Chain A
Amino acid sequence: MTDISEIYETIYEAIDEFHASKGEGVLEKSPETILFGAGSALDSMGLVDLIVTIEQSLEDKLDVVITLTDERAVSRKNSPFRTVEALAQYIHLLMKEQPDG
């Protein structure tokens, strides 16, 4: 079972890759960093880019294929995209739900 620290590490690597592709750094690598909604440094397209980069990093680093655009992602009262911490916990949950999780 993947430890949540590995998920944080993967998200931070994805943030590095995201910054490299944009040519600028706007996101702090911290659990409290806001990704979605008020206070986020990302516009809607930036969030899409980051989510795709994280999905691909999870495939490459942790060998897990999950879809982060799960319906709970947009229907939850507290969106799992709100902060890095919420996203890490959401990914951890999705990985646990996988057949071999």
Chain B
Amino acid sequence: MDDTRVMLITGTRKGIGRWLVEHYAEQGLMVIGCSRGEKTFDHANYRHYTLDVADENQVRSMFSDIRKTDKRLDVLINNAGTASMNHSILTPSKTVRKILETNTLGTFLFCREAAKLMKKRGFGRIVNFGTVATPLKLEGEAAYAASKAAVLTLTQIFAREFAEMGITVNAVGPSPILTDLIRSVPEERIQAILQRQAIPRFGEFRDVLNVIEFFIQPESDFVTGQTIFLGGVS
């Protein structure tokens, strides 16, 4: 029986998702990625699906394909996310809806479908993505921070619902990292956020990877429902 671990990562076209795909494909895992755009990475251990994480039918079809093709899923990393930095009074409802659909509904659907697949083997690791914008209550990020606050609540409740299936559910809350997500945020604003961290520097992909590695290792089977914020934010 093939014992290759299978990992699913969302939002893999660019940024940290793309970086994680490369990292884990090189580590020898079978990595499955998805994004709204076409794949930007080729590897013998990588397969890509083009979809919207909030489209239930597309998500269900992808999981059906994974079940038939790979027969298992060991790890889910819910990285896909979108943000809009703007004063709430200037934020259109369409933007709020899009943020909630991608960040919150997308996370919900992927956790639900992953649990169906993972429960068969009685093992699974799910890592969701929060943000320091939630505990820092950042002005100008109301919709984004709220959508991620919901992700943290989902993480805590899924942790309880999935525990008896052998599935742990945790979250990492990155501090600002130099990716497209914060490209439109003014420099002085980013610096002000960094100064509110215990360790006032930009986060790096390796910082996020470090937390993911901790959550997904077999020895972490007694760690669930937790969120680790980077940079000393709490």
How many angstroms between the C-alpha atoms of A47 and B56 in the bound complex?
A: 22
Q: Does B116 contact A (CB under 8 A)?
A: yes
B119 surroundings in chain A (CB, below 8 A): 49, 52
Q: Describe B's contact surface by its main secondary structure.
A: helix
B57 surroundings in chain A (CB, below 8 A): 65
Contact of A65 among B61, B112, B116, B164 (CB under 8 A): B61
Interface residues on A, range: 10 to 19
Contact A67 B60 (CB under 8 A): yes
Contact A65 B67 (CB under 8 A): no
The number of inter-chain residue pairs (CB within 8 angstroms) is 19
B contacts with A, residue count (CB < 8 A): 11
Q: Describe A's contact surface by its main secondary structure.
A: helix
Q: Does B64 contact A (CB under 8 A)?
A: yes
How many angstroms between the C-alpha atoms of A60 and B65 in the bound complex?
A: 11
Q: Does A56 contact B (CB under 8 A)?
A: yes
B112 surroundings in chain A (CB, below 8 A): 69
Interface centre among A45, A60, A65 (most CB of B within 10 A): A65
Add 4 more A-B contacts to A59-B64, A67-B60 (CB < 8 A). A45-B164, A56-B67, A59-B67, A59-B68
- B residues touching A (Cβ–Cβ < 8 Å)? 56-57, 60-61, 64, 67-68, 112, 116, 119, 164
